[in-house]
Amino acid sequence: MAQGTKPMFVGAGRHHEVFVSGRHWRTRGDALLTAVAAAFTLLQLLLVRPSMGLGWDEVVYVSQVGTEAPAAFFSAPRARGVPLLVWPIASWSDSTVLLRVFLAVLSGLALYLALRVWRRLFPARVLAGAGALFTTLWITLFYGPQAMPNLWVAFGALICVGCFVRARRDRFDHRALWGVLAGALLMAWMRPTDAVWVTMPLLGLAVAARHWRLGSALATGLFAGGVQWVIEAYIGYGGLRERLNEASRIQGDLGWNLAVDDQLRSLVGSTLCRPCDIATPHVTVFAWWLVVPLLAAYGLRVAVRAGRTARSLIPLACATTAAFPYLFLIGYAAPRFLLPAYALLAVPVADALFHVVTTPNGRWRPAVAAVVGLVLTGHLVVQYSVLDRTVDRITAARDAWARTATELHRLGVRPPCLLTGHEAIPVAYYAGCASGATNGHNANTTRADILRTTRRVPVGVLTRPGHEPPHHARDWELHRLDGLDVRIAPTPLAGGTA
């Protein structure tokens, strides 16, 4: 052993007990986590096409800082974390490919950092396994390169919870305190309400155990990440309560709603199940969803028997509160809502799997390992199949928006311009126009304002084929474009005034 290098103990519970040099242990562990993070980035670039256009929600976020089109309406539930996340690219480039590559690399780096904070709590192979389990879900891969908040809440949750457990075990671990603050800040920056749900057990534990420094770090992170959202609530909505009420209304009035079955059905590749009236998918699609809680419970049992209960119980508790509103309080489903819960569950689940395939002295059980490996291989095949179909379907839909925008340009609807009606927000972004709505969740204008705008710039109304347009647009020129009826206002007179 090299002089000055302290021996480090690798393993806990039933993991193989072996002493190696601290430097070798750290290098090997870092290599494992780096490999998982690099594979995550590579799989995103290979399986989720960087050329895939921006989705509806992405358009809203990117347009706040981008140059492609005027900023779309920013509704009450949304937070400014994603616009700031994409600002380094979107503020000067309209390249979707460049933005997706940037986000894929950034999410790979975030995964590495999120797993690394757990290094003092679990062996590196468990953490690498947790990362592999989480990142091979079709949901994680699909949203890795997208400008959406949920995966970043998941990374923040891993960082915050892992550092919380570390700081609770070692009051001299000052880096862990900063990690708690940073993780909470990231979550609140992306989705303040999700951050509160994730950290409920942590706040309760900090108060109950009188860990005031730990509680202060957590509260400071939540405040720093959410203060802008709160200030915006008072400026634009009349107060925090009013913004929360408006957010609840947009999300279908939060209350007791059993959405477990909706979330299960959405696993087939439905990115938004509202209303969730699709058929229940084949059992191979959702079997993992039923197995994960059982493995998590087994992982907790292992931790209790090994005398390290908190390391598994705390992330399980946070995963439960993170999932609760999306399983029981909301009337629709989207698989991405549960990404923070999946990320937190991955660590105890990976720990449980390693205990299943190894003996108490750390030796492999060949037969059991072979069965588990076969099951995981089948799981990966199913995940890839769902991802492939989802990417194909979503890409086709976004290509249709781009084609509609091209046709609008051909018809004379060019920036500056205004589009209203069905799917106006994404189509307007692709066309470089502003978007508007007189009713619904994204209402931001009036009929009188729209009519005044027709005197200055091209204005179009989009409707589903066969649906009646607004009364003021019934006499406008009708064009049928790629699944949409488009009515264009008469060309404004040169030098016309509002």
Encode pLDDT of 28-56 as tens digits: 888 999 999 999 999 999 999 999 999 99
Q: Where in the chain are the domains?
A: 7-47+95-364
pLDDT attached to residue 17: 38
Other C-beta atoms closer than 10 Å to the C-beta of 362 total 15
Nearest one of 414, 410, 408, 412 to 423, comparing CA atoms: 408
Average pLDDT, 10 consecutive residues per value, the chain (498 residues): 40 41 68 97 96 97 95 95 98 97 98 96 96 98 98 98 96 94 98 98 96 96 97 95 93 87 95 89 95 96 92 97 96 96 98 92 90 97 97 96 96 96 96 94 93 95 93 93 92 52
Residue type, 69: A
pLDDT attached to residue 3: 40
- At 434 the pLDDT is 97
Instruction: Please say whether the beta carbons of 161 and 169 come within 8 A.
Output: no
pLDDT at residue number 469: 93
pLDDT at 255: 87
How far from 381 is each of 24, 88, 114, 224, 386, CA to CA, in Å?
35, 35, 26, 42, 9
Q: pLDDT value at position 492?
A: 67
**Long-range contact list for 439-445, CB < 8 A, 24+ apart?**
441/75, 441/250, 442/72, 442/73, 442/75, 443/73, 444/73, 445/420
**Of 357, 347, 368, nearest in space to 133 by CA:** 347
pTM higher than 0.85, yes or no? yes
Quote the pLDDT of residue 466. Answer: 85
Cα distance between residue 189 and residue 318, in whole Å: 18
What pLDDT does residue 18 have? Answer: 39
DSSP code, position 20: E
Q: What pLDDT sits at residue 493?
A: 53
